[in-house]
Each structure stands twice: as structure tokens, then as C-alpha cells.
Amino acid sequence: MLDIKFIRENKDIVAQGAKKKHVKIDIDALIVLDDKRRDLTASIEKKRAEQNVVSDKIQKATPADRATMIEEMKVVKESLGKEEESLKEIMKEWHTLMLQVPQVPDMSVPEGDSDAQNLEIKTWGEKPNFSFEPKDHLELMTTLKMVDFERGAKTHGFRGYFLTGEGARLTFAIWNYALDFFSKRGFVPMIPPVVVRKQHLYGTAHLPGDVEDFYQTQDGEVLAGTAEVPIMAYHSDEVLEASQFPIKYLGFSPCFRREAGSHGKDVKGLIRVHEFYKMEQVILSEASHEMSVKLHDELNRNTEEFIESLGIPYHTVINCGGDLGLGQVKKYDIELWVPKENTYREISSASYFHDFQTRRFNIRYRDTEGKLRYAHSLNCTAIPTPRILVSLVENYQQADGSIKIPEALQKYFGKSVIGGQQ
């Protein structure tokens, strides 16, 4: 959430930022409503102060004066009650509009209305040149009994799957390797709850926009689609010590997404499933744009280095304005090469938010002058499973249908190949 003071003083910048993100919001209407809120608040405070003054006078007044004062205060009290009711309605509308105002994107964010306009800024690795017709991950993993989609659909329904045998073991190997890899970079491991209060999805700005993409319980809680949500809630309503920054967490959790807006997309395989696991890097830092930029690049580079250690070709893109979320200042996506599709597919997103999220969560700290300030927040996917398996098995497949295991994973997996000659 942006500061209303910032919005009022920079309404043209905020309006241009919304336009760049392709978000429709009437900033002028918000300011008119805010004027009403401010005027009504001032009037209410004046009447309450008047009540307090008169209450003191009534105690010292003569009976005749006291009766007159009480009658006058009845009129004030009635007027105050009406204004308080009006303010409640205005605050509901004001809060709804405030939740729709997007963060201003960085100047380096390219123009564009969809991921098709994202800008490639880096490529890494050599794409495999097979001497045979490569298979896709569905055929490879099914043949090697690493996955069972048929029974997955029978058990879960559409997009259901079982990881079995070496598919499950390889996933555990990736988790254990990732835990070691990111822990060495100063991240504190955390396994958070993923059944969370709905208010926390407003905090991360996943709501109100993505309401159709979340599973909800009968009690109104939501199943989070990323560990970012509960980890950001972890320090809500707290005042942190500046000496703690940057605070780095590596969240590991199951994740749930309905994929409501993806009908007809990636209906087969492990690219787009309803439930999966993910390790997420989350950072809280001092309120400094320069520090956010530095940490953003660091987060993204962590995941790039992880992918490089697995030897999987990838490219990195900077997301255009239309492909940014409501709260994001800037975002990078890392996309892995998928040989059978002859394209790159997203594996990670790295974003920074300034104080957009922390205002909603009320996460603050005292700066060197003792002033309370909202922290900055950042996050980046460390690695998602089972999606990583798609690129891994397709890039490492061999002519006999076996799959080589990347060297970095071999000590966690226990062998160098799945299928074929061991």
C-alpha cells in the first residue's frame, strides 16, 4: 500500500505508474474521497474536544447553567454520531480504493502489456544437441516410473499426479541440496503454516486481484500459494531492530493454486499443477532504494547460481509493466530451457516492493535517528518442485531413455543415472 501523503503529493507519478502496469484506478477520485475523509475526521476531532471541554465545565457549573450545557451537548452529540457513521462509510470506500492503487514501477521496467513483452537480459548454458529424437518429461518419467499421472487424476482430479520411486527420491535430493545451497548464503530455514488468514493475502497484495486462484477453507482461511505470505505475516505489527537487517528467510512449504485463469494451458505434465512444493527466499531490509536494488540482484543471482550448478540452460528476463503485480517495483523471471518444447519456461521470480507490503503488515524499525520507518521487503523463488524436474529430465535424457543426474545432486541422490546402466 502506498502512503496517501505520497499519493497526494505525486498523483501524476502514481497515475503514470498505474498506466504502465495497465491498472485502472482513478487517482483524482481517491483524492476527492480523501479530502472528505480528512475534513470529516477534523470535524469529529473538534466536536470530541468540545465535548471534553464542556464535560469539565458541567462539573463546575451551577444547576441552571449545567442544564443548558447538557442540552447544547445533546445537539453536538447527535451531530457527532452522524459524522462518525458517515466516516465509517467513507473509510470503507477509501480503504477499497487504497488497496487498488499499484506500486510505482522502477524507471528501468520496460513498457508492455503481457509477458510476451518481457525483455531478455541474460542467457546461460549450451542447449543440448541430441543425436536422437528427444522425449518430453511425461514420456521419460512415466516410462521410468518416476510419476503416475493416471492414478494422480483418479485420486486428485484434473492436474493430479503422484511422484513415485526415483521421481520422489530425486525431489528429496533437490530439496536437500537447495537447503544446503541457500543456507550457505545466510538464509534461515523456515517451515511456515500455509493455512493463513485471508488478510495476509491482502498484505502481500495477492488479493484482491487473484481471488479466483486460491483455495479457501470452510472457516474462511486461505491455502497460500507461496511461503512468502506466511513469512511476511511472521513479523506483522512488530518493530524490528535495524541491526538485524537484512533479515533472510528460506521458506519451505506446500503451495496451492487453483490455476483458475489457466484453462486450456499446460493441461498435461508437471508445468502447471494445483499443488506443489517451493523454497522461497524472503528478505526484510532497511528502507533504502539502493539497498533494495542490491538485494534484488543478489536474490535473483542466488537462484541463477543454483540453476548453473545443475547445468541447466536458462535465460533471465526483466518483466514489463503489464506483467508486474500490484505491489512490485521490479521483477526478474528466470526461465529454464525445455528441449521438447523448444522454449524457455519460468522457474523463478524475483521481486522487490519497497514498503508496499510492510505498510499493510505494519512491519517497522527505528532508523539511526530513532524515527519509526517501514521496512522494505523482497522475495525470490529458490526452487519449485516438481516443475524443476521438467527441464532437468529433458536436458539430461540419453538415447536409451535413461536420465543422467547432475553432479551437484549425485551425493544427495546416491547415484549418477536413472534407468539404463547404473
Where on the phi/psi map is residue 165: left (φ > 0), alpha (ψ -120 to 50), or beta?
left
> Cβ distance 74 to 54 under 8 Å?
no
Active site residues: 257, 272, 346, 349, 387
Q: Which residues are CB-neighbours of 14 under 8 A, at least 6 positions away? A: 2, 6, 7, 27, 101, 104
Q: Which residues contact 70 (CB under 8 A, 6 or more apart)?
A: 58
H-helix or E-strand containing 173? helix 166-183
What region, left, alpha or beta, does residue 191 occupy, with left being phi > 0 and alpha being psi -120 to 50 degrees?
beta
Peptide bond into 110 cis (omega under 30): no
Concatenated DSSP letters of 114-149: SGGG-EEEEEESPPP--SS-PPPHHHHHHHTTSEEH
CA dist 243 and 326 (Å) reads 30
Task: Please enumerate in sequence order all residues whose Cβ is within 8 A of that of 173, keeping only pairs 6 or more positions apart, or say none.
Answer: 405, 409, 412, 413, 414
Distance, in Å, from the CA atom of 138 to the CA atom of 241, rounded to the nearest integer, reads 49
Torsion of CA 361, 365, 371, 376, to 10 degrees: -70
What is the residue whose three cell numbers read 447527535?
78
28-61 as b/e: b if 16+ CB within 10 A: eebeebbeebeebeeebeebeeeeeebeeeeeee
> CA separation (Å) from 54 to 41, 79, 218?
20, 16, 50
Distance CA 376, CA 357 (A): 8
The cell numbers describing 188, all together, are 534461515
Contact criterion met (CB below 8 Å) for 330 and 351:
yes
